[in-house]
Amino acid sequence: MSKKVRVRFAPSPTGGLHLGGVRTVLYNYLFAKKHGGDFLVRIEDTDQSRYVAGAEEYIFDTLKWCGLEPDESVQHGGNYGPYRQSERKESYRQYAEQLVKDGYAYYAFDTPEDLEKMRHDFKTDNNPSPQYDHTIRMKMRNSLTLSSDETQKLLAAGTRHVIRIKMPENETVSFTDMIRGEVKFETSLVDDKVLLKADGMPTYHLAVVVDDHLMEISHAFRGEEWLPSAPVHILLWKYLFGLENMPQWAHFPLILGPNGKLSKRDGAKYGFPVFAMNWNDPKTGELTEGFKEKGFLPEAFLNLLALLGWNDGGEQEIFSMEELIEKFSMERVHSAGAKFDYEKAKWFNHEWIKKSGVGSLESGVKTLLSQNGVTVSDDVLLEKVIELVKDRCTLLPDFVQHSSFFFKVPETLDVDAVKPKWNEDKKNFFVVYTEKLQTATEWNAIELENSFKELATEKNIKPGELQLPFRIMLVGGKFGPPVFNIAELLGKEETVIRIKNALLAF
């Protein structure tokens, strides 16, 4: 048997991809790349009633933005297709039938109403949600309670039915989770999960086992919410393909919101994104904001996700993708859930913006500026501006505030910030300063500052009291990089014009 590392991300295309989903992709990807293996994406679309237009496309767009490209998928091809479970429909039934034949599963003819009635009838205070398990399966309509003749007749008549796994009554199923160690379950406490639905589609339980086998998956990673159904999957592996061929499992801790499992509602309520990219629900028309549109760099997004549940044991927090691949190990993934901290997420982004080269920021900033009505005609200037202001930008849109005025005359001047302390002396200072500027031969921040301070001393005014007015003149408000740097990049002509115009307004 091939020992090649092969891992998969198996999303259900029902909506936007949230934080936890992307982290699952990331850990899969890191593990695969670290071990020279394959990372594939398999679309789990066996529930046709939950089909959402565009969701599959969205998933791949998200992976592309993150730079987590699969080796095999619907879009990338591969030798283990189809990579969409709905297209593999025909392959599942035989396995379910085989299980029935071997006595590990059975046909069940109960209608949805029957099931509802069962849940109602058996509901007690001590058992608020009765399960279809060994204690009640003999009270239902299935091939265990029906004679074989009756069963055959029903099947021949095309009666709607499902196939359920017959959980053993007194077995302990255990497996070793790469993160949690040994996990045990008593089979008598697990219900008879449906394996094959009435429409002929497999449930997740059957599909995940069959496809992991067919696709030769070596390690199966998923979120902790799957842990309770693990015994079903272990048993299916045992019955169908042999425990010795089963992939190694790891269940990732959940990413929690302020109130437990993170939901997109939390994002709306607490003001931070939950999805990787904007998701526009075609059914409700509701738009859910994504990290991308909020102004996160993919490198930062991945970095913060990687650290949410994993660390390399040292004190490093900023990791490039290459470093993550090199240092990642499943053993160092935490077993406890992690509460998402948006403040820290922003810190990661800020660090990445500071760390990023001007070149990698340029097109994004340019787009953002143009979206805000600022046209950049001088790319060289833009590059200088980005270099100058990036340290004060936490999210990409911050660039708009900190750099628009380099390309566009401020629409309004914060006159109120100046007026209270404005006087004729100061006005006179700027009139003279303007004259000096016009004859200046050296145009750079240091020279500008020197002559500014010289003149201030001459006029007996504290330079500090003149800097804020100067800033308002050039920028319009109390923000932006050091004022003399601004003047330098603005150039002589523009600087002089802005001072003169402002003098009229003050």
Partner RNA sequence: GGCCCGUUCGUCUAAGGGUUAGGACACCACCCUUUCACGGUGGUGAUACGAGUUCGAAUCUCGUACGGGCUACCA
Question: Does residue 459 interact with RNA by CB under 7 A?
Answer: no
Distance of CA 109 to the CA centre of its chain: 41
Sign of CA dihedral 30, 32, 35, 36: negative
Among 194, 276, 365, 448, binds RNA (CB under 7 A): 194
Residues 128-147 that bind RNA (CB under 7 A): 128-129, 131-132
**Nearest residue (CB) to RNA, 3 versus 8:** 8
Establish if 20 lies at the interface with RNA (CB under 7 A): no
The closest alpha carbon to 293, from 129, 65, 122, 47, belongs to 65
Tell whether residue 308 is a contact of RNA (CB under 7 A): yes
Tokens standing for 255? 């990413």
The reply on whether position 256 binds RNA by CB under 7 A is yes
User: Left if phi > 0, otherwise alpha if psi is -120 to 50, otherwise beta: which for 307?
Assistant: alpha
Tell me the window of 54-62, 196-204, 265-273, 320-328 that interacts with RNA (CB under 7 A). Answer: 196-204
Interaction pattern, residues 381-420, with RNA; x per rule: CB under 7 A: ----------xx----------------------------
CA distance 43 to 85: 6
In the complex, what is the shortest distance from the CB of residue 1 to RNA, in angstroms, rounded to a whole number?
26
Residue 497 one-letter amino acid: I
Kindly tell me which residue out of 92, 185, 237, 406 binds RNA, with binding defined by CB under 7 A. 185
Amino acid at 284: T
Sequence letter at residue 101: K
In whole angstroms, the minimum distance from the beta carbon of 2 to RNA comes to 25
Judged by CB under 7 A, the stretch of 71-79, 301-309, 355-363, 422-430 that binds RNA is 301-309
Question: Measured between alpha carbons, how far is 72 from 80 in angstroms, rounded to an integer?
Answer: 8
- Residue number with CB closer to RNA (195 or 437): 195
From 23-31, 311-319, 356-364, 491-499, give the range in contact with RNA by CB under 7 A.
Answer: 311-319
Within residues 365-384, the interface with RNA by CB under 7 A covers none
CA pseudo-torsion sign 254, 190, 130, 115: positive
Contact region for RNA (CB under 7 A) — 52-60, 235-243, 284-292, 347-355?
347-355
Stretch that binds RNA, among 68-76, 145-153, 191-199, 431-439 (CB under 7 A): 191-199
CB of 340 to RNA, least distance (A): 7
Torsion of CA 312, 316, 318, 319, to 10 degrees: -40
Nearest to residue 10, comparing CAs of 204, 270, 178, 164?
Answer: 204
> Which residues between 227 and 246 bind RNA (CB under 7 A)?
227-229
- Using the contact rule CB under 7 A, the part of the chain among 125-133, 150-158, 282-290, 435-443 near RNA is 125-133
User: Which is the catalytic residue, given 264, 292, 294, 390?
Assistant: 264
Q: Which of 379, 435, 465, 493 binds RNA (CB under 7 A)?
A: 465
Site map (CB under 7 A) of RNA, residues 313-342, x = contact: x-x-x--------------x-xxxxxx-x-
Tell which one of 204, 221, 399, 405 touches RNA (CB under 7 A).
204
Query: Looking at this protein, which amino acid is placed at residue 231?
Result: P
267 lies in the site for RNA, by CB under 7 A: no
Alpha-carbon distance values, 503 to 114, 431, 466, 476 (Å): 83, 8, 13, 13
Residue closest to 171 by CA, chosen among 155, 185, 183: 185
**What is the 3-state secondary structure of 359-381?**
HHHHHHHHHHHHHCCCCCCCHHH
SS3 label, residue 255: strand
Cβ at position 337, least distance to RNA in Å = 5
Whole-number Cα distances in Å, 243 to 172, 247, 344: 14, 9, 42
Q: Determine, following the binding rule CB under 7 A, whether residue 97 of this chain makes contact with RNA.
A: no
Minimum Å distance from CB 429 to RNA? 13
CB-nearer residue toward RNA: 36 or 112: 112
Residues 291 and 277: their CA atoms lie apart, in Å, by 6
Radius of gyration for the chain, computed over Cα atoms and rounded to the nearest angstrom: 32
Size (the chain), residues: 506
Kindly state whether residue 176 participates in binding RNA, applying the rule CB under 7 A. no
Member of 343, 416, 424, 442 binding RNA (CB under 7 A)? 343
Q: How many residues of this chain bind RNA (CB under 7 A)? A: 83
Shortest distance in whole angstroms from residue 475 CB to RNA: 7
How many helical (H) and strand (E) elements, i.e. helices and strands, does the chain have?
A: 20, 14
Neighbour tally for 56: CB within 10 Å? 21
How many Cβ atoms sit within 10 Å of the Cβ of residue 193? 23
CB atoms near residue 451 (< 10 Å): 16
Per CB under 7 A, contacts with RNA among 418-457 are none
* Of 86, 248, 311, 451, the one binding RNA by CB under 7 A: 311
The single residue among 34, 119, 355, 366 that binds RNA, judged by CB under 7 A, is 119
What are the b/e assignments for 96-111, b being 16+ CB within 10 Å? beebbeeebbbbbbbe
Token pair belonging to 18: 């949230």
Is residue 64 a contact residue for RNA (CB under 7 A)?
no
7, 10, 167, 490: which one binds RNA (CB under 7 A): 10
- Say whether 166 is catalytic: no
Out of 347, 407, 443, 506, the residue judged to bind RNA by CB under 7 A: 347
**Which residues are marked as active site?**
264
